[in-house]
Amino acid sequence: MRVKGDGIFSINTSASGGFGSAGISLPETVADASGGGDNPPITDNMILYVTPEQAYSDSAGTTLAVNGDNIPLVKDLSSSANDLTQLTASSQPSLDTTKFPNGAKAIFALSDYLSFTNTINFPQTDDYFTIYIVLQKYIAGIHYSAISNESQQGRSEFQTDSMDLLSYVGSRRAVSYLSADNGTDLRIYAFTLDRTAGTIGEFKGYLNSVYQGMDTSSQINTNFILEYTRVMSGNGWYGDILMYQSAHTASEVQTIHDWLNTKYSVY
């Protein structure tokens, strides 16, 4: 995983793309979000953890946002400290404490977005990737959640009946929902990507802890690069977003989903 900012910050990987002996070890826990409850139950290889609990109404990060406030900053609670920022007031999302169950906070984006401090680049040589997104669409239909700003390539995407990953170089992998899911209910989405299954890579999709299916293709191992520069670029209400430099197993996906469900009561 390489994170690119004004200069280049590299997390060295082994030849197979994992962290290996040359990599770094992430802490067992991350900082508590104010009012955010327990830490994520899995923190190994975590490269991003953002939550509405750490949304601020000022760019200095001194005043937590309250309902209706514009948000110029959301702090990343992983060891990457890859905070999300938006200094243009007209493009800032806002905090909503009325939309989600249990009084859980949401970040509402309507033609808005937040940018990573440092681009998250998942090159061809990296073997594993997992992303979790708590999301309620504003309207039914196609929704882009985390994208690159280079012609909107390299994005996590929710079609009317499938979960898609679009490579920075234009190739696409998709997992269809078990049933058409084109609505506006609050949901927990998860993608995992694993390039270690021989010459055929595996892209798996999960929805509200339920395994939706797998897309297997040699293209995943030869022509699939992810690059994320911004999130919350699709209209809707967002909860927690987590990214890992690992391909979570079905059991690990269930663990994270159940933890998120205690906060958001999705299923």
Amino acid 37: pLDDT: 52
Report yes or no: 120 and 100 within 8 Å, Cβ to Cβ. Answer: no
Provide the percentage of residues in the chain whose pLDDT is more than 90: 43
Please say if the pLDDT value at position 71 is more than 60: yes
Per-residue CA distances from 45 to 160, 173, 195 (Å): 31, 24, 16
In the chain the domains, ranked by start, together with CATH numbers, are 46-264 (2.60.120.200)
**What is the value of pTM for the model shown?**
0.79
Amino acid 264: pLDDT: 97
Most confident of 129-138, 156-165, 171-180: 129-138
Amino acid 219: pLDDT: 65
Of the candidate ranges 62-71, 85-94, 117-126, the one whose mean pLDDT is the lowest: 117-126
Of the candidate ranges 10-14, 182-186, 200-204, 249-253, the one whose mean pLDDT is the lowest: 10-14
Report yes or no: 234 and 110 within 8 Å, Cβ to Cβ. Answer: no
Average pLDDT of 197-216? 83
Please say if the pLDDT value at position 176 is more than 70: no
Q: Give 31's DSSP letter.
A: P
Confidence of residue 184 (pLDDT cuts 50, 70, 90): confident
Amino acid 25: pLDDT: 35
Please give the residue that has the higher pLDDT: either 205 or 151.
205
pLDDT tens digits along 75-100: 999 999 999 999 999 999 999 999 99
Average pLDDT of 228-238? 82
